[in-house]
């Protein structure tokens, strides 16, 4: 079942790359007591994700933070090494936290998986964005397959 506005983000674990290597991040701790703009992409280094989705959040980071967002995070069903490298290549350091959902546990827990098998991707997270306030979903924007309209930084800015 897909998560809805007003529901608590499920307890899962992400992994982020740090200067000391991969570090586990509990979702309960990550979202607690603050406002997070979270967006999900089907995969790091994929065309729309690299050309438009992540760059939009990098470009709009200051505007989002100016509207009360404490942290911006990107998640994908990729490993922490790939997410870390993608973040560096997109100049996301200090603007967007790259959270690996390597086993797809978060995507599955929020009910937002997709089957990318015909592209050799297997099960991935759908393209979506959300505002999470103290662990509770305040806004949720899920894209139709193949679309990039409602999960952009610009769209999220208009909701805050």
Using the predicted structure, report yes or no on whether residue 45 has a pLDDT greater than 90: no
Q: Which residue has the higher pLDDT, 148 or 124?
A: 148
Asked whether residue 7 is assigned to any structural domain, the reply reads no
Sequence-distant (6+) residues with CB within 8 A of 78 are: 43, 44, 86, 100, 101, 102
Asked whether residue 130 carries a pLDDT value surpassing 90, the answer given is yes
Residue 2 in any domain: the answer is: no
- Residue 46, domain member (yes or no): yes
User: Is residue 65 situated within a structural domain?
Assistant: yes
Instruction: Report whether pLDDT(1) > 90.
Output: no
Question: Tens digits of per-residue pLDDT, 12-36?
Answer: 999 999 999 999 999 999 999 999 9
Is residue 66 in a domain? yes
Using pLDDT thresholds of 50, 70 and 90, give the confidence band for residue 52: confident
Which residues form the domain of 110? 13-159
Domain count, the chain: 1
Please indicate whether residue 25 or residue 145 has the higher confidence score (pLDDT): 25
Q: Does the structure show a pLDDT above 70 at 67?
A: yes
* Rounded-to-5 percentages of helix, strand, coil across the chain: 30, 30, 40
Can you give the pLDDT at residue 158? 92
pLDDT tens readout for residues 73-116: 999 999 999 999 999 999 998 999 999 999 999 999 999 987 88
- Give a yes or no: residue 139 inside a domain: yes
Residue 58 has what pLDDT? 96
Check which CATH number belongs to the domain holding 138 and give it: 3.40.30.10
Q: What is the set of active-site residues? A: 49
Q: What is the DSSP string of 51-117?
A: IIIHHHHHHTHHHHHHTT--EEEEEESS-HHHHHHHHHHTT-TTT-EEEE-TTSHHHHHTT-EEE-G
Domain membership flag for residue 131:
yes
Assess if residue 5 is contained within a domain.
Answer: no
Average confidence score pLDDT of the chain: 92
């Amino acid at each position: 079942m897909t998560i809805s506005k007003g529901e608590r983000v499920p307890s899962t674990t992400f992994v982020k790359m740090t200067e000391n290597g991969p570090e586990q991040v509990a979702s309960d701790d990550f979202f607690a007591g603050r406002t997070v703009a979270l967006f999900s992409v089907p995969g790091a280094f994929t065309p729309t994700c690299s050309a438009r989705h992540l760059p939009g959040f990098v470009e709009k980071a200051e505007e989002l933070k100016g509207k009360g967002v404490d942290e911006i995070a990107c998640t994908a069903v990729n490993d922490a090494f790939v997410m870390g490298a993608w973040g560096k290549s997109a100049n996301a350091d200090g603007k967007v936290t790259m959270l690996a959902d390597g086993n797809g546990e978060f995507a599955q827990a929020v009910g937002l998986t997709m089957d990318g098998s015909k592209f050799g991707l297997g099960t991935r997270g759908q393209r979506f964005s959300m505002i999470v306030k103290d662990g509770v979903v305040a806004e949720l924007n899920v894209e139709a397959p193949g679309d990039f309209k409602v999960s952009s930084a610009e769209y999220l800015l208009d909701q805050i």
